Amino acid sequence: MFSSLLRSLPQLGRRWKPLNFSNPNFVRLADWPKVEEETLPDYIASQYYPTRIGEVINQRYQVIDRDQYHLVFIQPQIYRAPEVILGVPWTFSADIWNVGCMIWDIYEGGSLFTGQDPEFQRYRSRAHLAEMINLLGPPPPSLVIQGELSDKFFSSDFLNQDLLTGLVPLEQRETTLEGTAEREAFLRFMRKMLQWEPGKRSSAKELAEDEWIHRHM
């Protein structure tokens, strides 16, 4: 199951085509300023994923720009890759992060990330980034500097230090697998996907050949 899923990832790209925007009554979400969907009035995440160019959101907003889609409307929130949150141009490696989170959830019986912000009592990108830092340590500056939205979250350090609870790596979070060899193989597999830098994540082909995957085919 996992092997076929991983091999399908290169086919997940979307084709773009111009659409006719004929309704003047909707607020148009243009390329600039960038709009985060969590800041839209009356936003409810489950209602608006996935979105497409031309799609109407909450009967009030219409997505009109390809770049905005690439920076905002991609992936369910708790599976969202760090480059997507930061506004870094993304590619298929964002899907690799996504799959890593889903596989963890299946085997561990709970979400690796929630993004629940204690102040707002709902998902916020800053809380999600804090959870990533708690898991992986700080992101490399080479990634942060590329993000069009990075200054919302970082100066020299992460801006919301109160959300950081200390480093708790995957090794300390894994609680369900039995046997040292099985556990170590699983953690090696997860680390191939859950990397801050997209270029350091394994490809779908490489993951499909991983020893842990072959044990569970």
Give the model confidence (pLDDT) of 13-54 as tens digits. Answer: 443 333 444 555 555 554 444 455 566 666 555 444 444 545
Instruction: Provide the pLDDT for residue 187.
Output: 96
pLDDT of res. 25:
58
Paired with 116 in beta bridges are: 123
Q: Tens of pLDDT along 49-108?
A: 444 545 555 554 445 444 443 444 467 889 999 998 898 888 889 999 999 999 999 989
pTM: 0.71
Binned at pLDDT 50, 70 and 90, residue 177 comes out as confident
Q: What is the mean pLDDT of the chain?
A: 77
CB atoms within 10 A of CB 196: 21
pLDDT of residue 160: 95
At 4, is the pLDDT very low, low, confident or very high (cuts 50, 70, 90)?
low
Higher pLDDT, 183 or 74: 183
Q: What whole-number distance in Å separates Cα of residue 82 and Cα of residue 94?
A: 8
Taking the C-alpha atoms of residue 64 and residue 139, their distance in angstroms, rounded to an integer, is 31
Phi-psi region of 137 (alpha: psi -120 to 50; beta: other; left: phi over 0): left
Q: Specify the pLDDT at position 214.
A: 87
Q: Which domains does the chain have, with CATH numbers?
A: 69-216 (1.10.510.10)
Report d(CA 135, CA 194) in Å as an integer.
10
Q: Cis ω on the peptide bond leading into residue 33 (within 30° of 0)?
A: yes
